[in-house]
Amino acid sequence: MKALIIYFSQTGGTEKIAKQIQKGILKSGNECEMVRIKDAKNKKLVDFDLIGLGCPTFYYREPLSVKLFIQNIDNANGKHCFIFCTHGSVIGNTFYYMNEELNKKGYLVIGAFDSYSESSIQFYPQPMHTAKHPDDIELREAEEFGQKICNTSLRIQKGEKKLIPNFEEIENTWWARDSKLATPEALRSMTPKFIINIEKCTKCLTCQDNCPGDAIDVEADPPEIQKEGCIFCWFCEKLCPEEAIEADWTSARKLFKGNLRRYIKELKKAEEQGKFRPYVDYEKIK
């Protein structure tokens, strides 16, 4: 079986999981290529028997760039795929929405894998509550998932339909309500205005080349940022080697202050269930 893993990663957590899944698929005796989502347009999905798609969770669902990617791929006729994601506390309805979009394009999702991941959000303190994730256990589990997924595909082809996962939308939770409110328009109004300091900017194109929404043009006069297509990941500000992208996070820190407490509450529940292993003292996160 020939598999292709397509992934979107920023701080590296999702990429680590993708590599482990690939390692597992190769160990199972199958072929597997891996490509960033920005480079996936050069791949013909029809040439592969199994497609994997992975991303971080944004606002309790898949990032807008991933949703648009799915909507723009060619239709398939029952081609098998698997999905995976990383998150900082709550996976939300990420798998539900990814499955819905993939189904519309004719793909059948036969498996899913999720992991916690360390991240760095500008208006939260460091270290983050999910520091050192994905850990060795999650990486091993991702490899084991990869080892099994091709066999799962073959078994489903032979008629074992009970192996097909069912994804249900979760509603009536605080994060589900927040997710519904996090429209592109709302996020644009809540996000501080980014400015490219032309005195610091060397036009190295680091931010532009890594922008998942192609919403930056540093070669314009004046340079443009947060254009149409911005997915509000705020990665460009952290990525700039010259610190030429500037933003005032004061209001965001006040607005999202309560979220950190809610995230830690969810992680404590997961810890009690044996699903999460903390590597930082929650009480020291201020």
- Give residue-wise pLDDT tens across range 164-212: 999 999 999 999 999 998 888 888 888 889 999 999 999 999 999 999 9
Q: Which range of residues forms the domain containing residue 240?
A: 193-247
Report if residue 266 sits inside a domain: no
User: What CATH number does the domain containing 97 carry?
Assistant: 3.40.50.360
pLDDT score for 122? 82
Tell whether 136 and 92 lie within a shared domain.
yes
**Which amino acid belongs to residue 81?**
C
Tell whether 198 and 241 lie within a shared domain.
yes
The number of folded domains in the chain is: 2
What does the alpha-carbon distance between residue 147 and residue 124 come to, in Å, rounded to a whole number? 36
DSSP 241: T
Token representation of residue 79: 């081609």
Tell whether 30 and 148 lie within a shared domain.
yes
What tens digit of pLDDT does each residue of 40-94 get?
Answer: 988 999 999 999 999 999 999 999 999 999 999 999 999 999 999 999 999 999 9
**pLDDT, average across residues 27-51:** 95
Q: What is the pTM (predicted TM-score) of this model?
A: 0.93
Tell whether 224 and 96 lie within a shared domain.
no
Tell whether 82 and 124 lie within a shared domain.
yes
Tell whether 107 and 33 lie within a shared domain.
yes
Residue 241 has pLDDT above 80, yes or no: yes
- Asked whether the beta carbons of 146 and 27 are under 8 A apart, the reply is yes
User: Helix axis angle, 136-157 relative to 13-27, nearest 10°?
Assistant: 50
Residue 1 has pLDDT above 80, yes or no: yes
Residue 257 has pLDDT above 80, yes or no: no
- Asked whether the beta carbons of 147 and 3 are under 8 A apart, the reply is no
- Asked whether the beta carbons of 267 and 111 are under 8 A apart, the reply is no
pLDDT score for 70? 96
The per-residue pLDDT of the chain, averaged, comes to 93
Asked, as a colleague might, if the bond just before 134 is cis with ω within 30 of 0, I would say yes
Report if residue 62 sits inside a domain: yes
Residue 12 has pLDDT above 90, yes or no: yes
Tell whether 86 and 215 lie within a shared domain.
no
Burial of 166 (0-12, 13-18, 19+ CB in 10 A): exposed
User: Which pLDDT band, with edges at 50, 70 and 90, does 274 fall under?
Assistant: very high
pLDDT score for 286? 63
Tell whether 77 and 130 lie within a shared domain.
yes
Burial of 17 (0-12, 13-18, 19+ CB in 10 A): buried
Residue 120 has pLDDT above 80, yes or no: no
DSSP 37: G
Please report, for the chain, how many H helices and E strands are present, in that order: 10, 7
pLDDT score for 140? 98
Find all residues with CB under 8 Å of 187, minimum gap 6, and list them.
59, 232
Report if residue 282 sits inside a domain: no
**pLDDT, average across residues 211-236:** 91
